[in-house]
Amino acid sequence: MLLDRGFLGREFAAEQEERGTQVVIAHGKADRKRLSKTRRRPVAALRNRVETVFAEVTEHLGLARHKAKTFWSLLTRTAATLAAHTLLRLNLLEQPT
């Protein structure tokens, strides 16, 4: 699980460790200055992938402007958008123009 530093609390980390989930914390500015590139690169690559997916889903596929009026409508639109994004990534749908 890739987390920002502000998200991780001791209690949350302990719960994840008990479940057997490995927690990776994104490096802060001070960490990036003192760590070598070989230590920073894997986390930076994962973070870049996450940021790219968020941008594609919210901006390109329009989830940021969902116009849902109820929680269930938002949930339905979110599920449809994530399904469309997955199908686009698998090259099963044509990319919108």
- Least trusted range by pLDDT, from 8-12, 14-18, 70-74: 8-12
User: Which position has the higher pLDDT, 97 or 2?
Assistant: 2
Residue 77, pLDDT > 80, answer yes
pLDDT digits (tens, 9 = 90+) for 31-41: 777 878 887 78
Please list the residues that pair with 72 across neighbouring strands. Answer: none
Other Cβ atoms less than 10 A from the Cβ of 26: the count is 19
Average pLDDT over residues 51-77: 88
Please list the residues that pair with 3 across neighbouring strands. Answer: 25
